[in-house]
Structure 1
């Protein structure tokens, strides 16, 4: 079995974790190695669910914070194993997000007396369909394990804080018509032509800008696809405009969908995907202390991440981790050494007596 030594410096520990292959659905070896480290720490209570691990301190502190990272990666692309060159560590998962996993694991093992109780979560299957997501499964089946006042998801964020996240809904707005030969088009009704009001609504739409905890979230409503047509000589009887709505986290999924129904009133709407946003919760004491300890400017998260899982549980959350997300999933994936050491030092300051 692969072994990990959490007393190694953060760069070497990250490399060791990167060098244990853990493509989605193949996280067993890495999960075993992480579990071995966690169970050797007397200050941690450890629960394993599949290839997802939850380790908790129970020191009776006034606050509990949660630090989470996923173990899996996308498939290798001639970028495995790791290599250290200058001030960069290269390799599959260095950025997304084994650098963050290494920081969390090192803190879990070497900080036995934190000023806040801490729950560490190392979970499987983030890079695939949400139904397989280990964090989501624990949230559904054992939500008590994820109870906290504040959460940090160690997704790559250029070692800065990105608070909360936008929600996302994808819909198809469907138009119906009647087929006819294009030589006798007056005998039919063109469903593609009927999409014109939909496109006009989208073109004239003014997205909201919403300030939450001092952060401005900018919404977006965009057509991301359009389909229709039967043959080159047939008037089509169906067309679809696929739309993605990125909504600020002050709206629930229900409210966001109601807004879409209002915009496209009387039209046929099919929801194809939906995920809630996440409130930043920067007014919480633990969050305020975290921001002060980090000493970095806080930005809103415009994309969707698993911080939304925590909002569903009533736990405000931020994204904070080493690496630039631009390099996630790329062949030249890498993480700056300065990000690894900086994130570890900042979190250690925040959690230390």
Structure 2
């Protein structure tokens, strides 16, 4: 990767012919926290246009889209976000004999590097290919760049199989959980803590809901051989006025991760049953996705990868494709348990394995 300074701006040059591990390192060293992806998007767009002339390339905000138009009877869509969570003293990239360490190595610049390698290195695939590099996946769903692509450039998402290259330990992860966030608020009456009996403590009023959460027993669901574990957690609590005041307002935020056999409406109904007697507001939700393993291209991927597919424990953009009727799976390098941690690191062997499997798939 070469940096040039022109007119006060840094220009990044990516080498798509490099080893995908080196390409991963180059991508990691371009900071791209959600909302600040322009420099990396520019580099990806420029590299695809100059090094992969067989592709049609378009830009949508800070998303870069590329595809072949060879008239093949089937199309495989690859999708990966180029943004990261905020930097946490984990840049620049650090390399050991077996791993790359640093922000985005797992989530998900290793997967992006695999996609870029395929885009440049396979000009005559046996499936037509589409590559979607998009922005703002790590923030609220309304800002997700893939959602913008769906609204404005819907035909770019069409295919017989979508592969989201999120980290999956280089094994096929099928479907994904849905997610719903709710806010539960309690009101009280302020009073001096020296005369606390004259007030009503709103924080204390959250106790029954917290006790319900602590006692909650989540389901484990087997769908087509993939086991999904649900979960419900308090993720934020706030309240308080001063050290000597009984608080008159308190807020509890709860995240529910649900198996894809539940719809969004069913997930909300379940929450209302669990928290009967409490008023709450649904503030964010995304549907899950059932395993998309019956499609011929998905079966080809499973065969190329070997082993058995597993359930995706978390939400990914496979759900967006599934909602459009497009079978979708997750397949990418790195351990998803390391996402958003300071210790992000991706095995070099995972990157090479993903490249080898996907090259067998696309021919």
The bucket for the TM-score relative to the shorter chain is 0.7 to 0.9
Q: Which runs of 5+ in 2 are unaligned?
A: 1-10
Query: How do residues 113-124 of structure 1 correspond to structure 2 at under 5 angstroms?
Result: 113-124=124-135
Q: C-alpha distance in 2, partners of 1:17/1:191?
A: 47
Q: Could you state the TM-score of these two structures normalised by the residue count of structure 2?
A: 0.84
In structure 2, the CA distance between the partners of 1:134 and 1:265, relative to structure 1 (3 Å rule), is same
Alignment of 1:279-318 (within 5 A): 279-318=290-329
Tell me the residue number matched to 2:233. Answer: 222
1:333 to 327, 333, 344: 344
- 1:173 partner SS: strand
1:284-315 Cα distance to aligned partner (Å, 9 max, x none): 22111111111133221222223233233333
**For structure 1, which segment, 122-131 or 252-261, has the greater mean C-alpha deviation from structure 2 after superposition?**
122-131
SS in 2 for 1:2: strand
CA 1:60/1:231 → structure 2, altered by over 3 Å: closer, same or farther? same
Deviations 1:109-143 (A, max 9, x none): 11122222221011123233433322221122222
Aligned-partner Cα distance in 2 for 1:91–1:187: 53
Superposition pairs of residues 204-215 of structure 1, within 5 angstroms: 204-215=215-226
Does residue 3 (structure 1) correspond to residue 8 (structure 2)? The answer is no
Query: How far apart are the structure 2 equivalents of 1:179 and 1:62?
Result: 69
Unaligned residue ranges in structure 1 (runs of 5+): none
1:348 CA displacement: 0.3
Residue-by-residue CA offset, 1:235-255 (whole Å, 9 max, x unaligned): 665544432211111222222
Matched, 1:261 2:272: yes
TM-aligned CA distance change 1:290 to 1:266, over 3 Å = same
For residue 102 of structure 1, report the CA deviation from its aligned partner: 1.1
Deviation at 1:44, TM superposition (A): 1.8
Q: Give 1:266 deviation, angstroms.
A: 4.5
Shift of 1:151: 1.4
Instruction: Please provide the CA RMSD for this pair.
Output: 2.9
- 1:172 and 1:340, CA in 2 relative to 1: closer, same or farther beyond 3 A? same
Shift of 1:220: 1.8
TM-score with structure 1 setting the length: 0.86
1:209 positional shift:
2.4
Cα distance in structure 2, aligned partners of 1:332 and 1:190: 40
Give the C-alpha shift of residue 67 in structure 1: 0.8
- Matched residue, 1:29: 39
Change (3 A) 1:9 1:198: closer
Give the whole-Å Cα distance in 1 for the aligned partners of 2:233 and 2:102: 35
Number of residue pairs the alignment of both structures matches: 352
Matched, 1:13 2:18: no
Distance in 1 (CA, whole Å) between partners of 2:314 and 2:28 is: 25
